Structure 1
């Protein structure tokens, strides 16, 4: 079998207890032991010291870590997690500058074979490996092939149609600081004596998820809004020619 047709070697950590956040992080970095349960527990303690019940993990300490723990863990590796406003088109994402994705989905809770009336949150990693994107959900028996870039965009659109799912984009610190995780568009040169009023008004980009893990939907019109503004301005320029 040639190298081109050989299947890529993919590290896929399987689900244990409530450690999906741990599995998602290790699957993202494609290395066994990138993080351990003790490291994530230490992050929980640092985020909320001197408390009897830590709000960043399950009551029994079996896992079920929240987004604050994941973000703190990523920062230790020089990465940031950016919440994506799912009202926007994932097509604005610049996949070349994105390390991977972490999808948060609702999950039922089982005790043995008994389904309990509890709603949990499940973390899933999506990342590119040798040109293809894979769903590395720790509940799957094996990695699930999504496909190329266009397939990923279609997949993300389908996932984000659900109100209960949230997407986080994992990028390097530099990409986050320069806002390079979305496509950069160059505005056309205006005609002489034409002074269009740009809708971009110098608005500051939305901030990352707050430390308490609450999503402020009203104030998180993230960078993808700028894509629509640019497109509207281009159309306006063409109509005035």
Structure 2
């Protein structure tokens, strides 16, 4: 009896296996949770993505935004909390259980320590007014429904999410990525924007500039979601297009 194989047109089963293996290698190199950006400026490296641990979404969002796992740690954010409210027995800027759950004041202070600031985006305006070439990225504050197994509770907490541009370079044998320290160099082509939510298994590519504008418009439709534009302090509100400031 002749052996039969399920094959996809255009290639043998062996070729298909080789193709799948190459794809998995590409994904492994593109999405890495172990490698960080350690050199200032534009650096070639895989996409850095921290996954959710305890209530440390603010920490993960900051490190994912800077593409640097050493940018901040829990101790540093706890120190910021103390500096913001040194005389409070119960610190209002984090969880009383010490699990994280940092508020926006901690994120803003952390960004300022790196020479950046978070500008609250007025959702009555259109995201197309943002000059994407001048920003580091976005931090979103979104609802986070509490779930236990298949049960969903009526209580909700807020969750921090980083979104930023990463320019992919096609090199041999695999594409790598290039990170900019806060604004895109003049004349450089735009890259791809990634959703670096720590609750995702892997980073999700949103797409190009038009795609991220649509993504932000969708986020802005919800009263429970807030958008913060992260820019260098010397740029500030210059991150808006001149005719639309």
**Pairwise same-fold verdict (TM > 0.5):** yes
Q: When the two structures are superposed, what TM-score results if normalisation uses the length of structure 2?
A: 0.70
Q: Partner of 2:155 in structure 1?
A: 118
C-alpha deviations, 1:39-81, integer Å up to 9, x for none?
0001000101121211101121211100000000000000000
C-alpha distance in 2, partners of 1:86/1:92?
A: 11
> Equivalent residue for 2:239?
181
Give 1:111 shift. Answer: 5.1
Matched, 1:46 2:104: no
The structure with the greater share of residues assigned to strand is 2
For the residue of structure 1 that corresponds to 2:239, the secondary structure is coil
Give CA-to-partner distance per residue, 1:12-45, whole Å, 9 cap, x none. 0000010000000000010112100010001000
* Residue 173 of structure 2: aligned partner: none
Alignment partner of 2:63 out of 19, 23, 26: 26
- Write out aligned runs for 1:69-84 (5 A): 69-84=106-121
Q: Are residues 1:146 and 2:206 paired?
A: yes
Matched pairs, number: 181
Match of 1:91 in 2: 128
1:104 paired with 2:141, answer yes
**Structure 2 SS opposite 1:169:** strand
**Residue segments in structure 1 that go unaligned for 5+ positions in a row:** 186-223, 227-241
Give 1:116 shift.
Answer: 3.9
Q: 1:165 to 1:136 in 2, by over 3 A?
A: same
Residue 192 of structure 2 corresponds to 132
Q: Structure 2, unaligned stretches of length 5 or more?
A: 1-21, 23-28, 31-44, 168-190
Structure 1: distance between partners of 2:60 and 2:157 = 16
1:162 aligns with 2:216: no
State which of 21, 31, 36 in structure 1 corresponds to 2:73.
Answer: 36
Distance 1:112-1:69 versus aligned 2 partners, 3 A rule: farther
Q: Tell me: CA distance 1:150–1:109, structure 2 relative to 1, closer, same or farther (3 Å).
A: same
The secondary structure found in structure 2 opposite 1:150 is helix
- TM-score, normalised on structure 1? 0.71
Aligned partner of 1:205 in structure 2 is none
Distance 2:144 2:98 in 1: 18
Superposed displacement of residue 114, structure 1: 5.1
The 3 A distance-change label for structure 1 pair 62 and 113 is farther
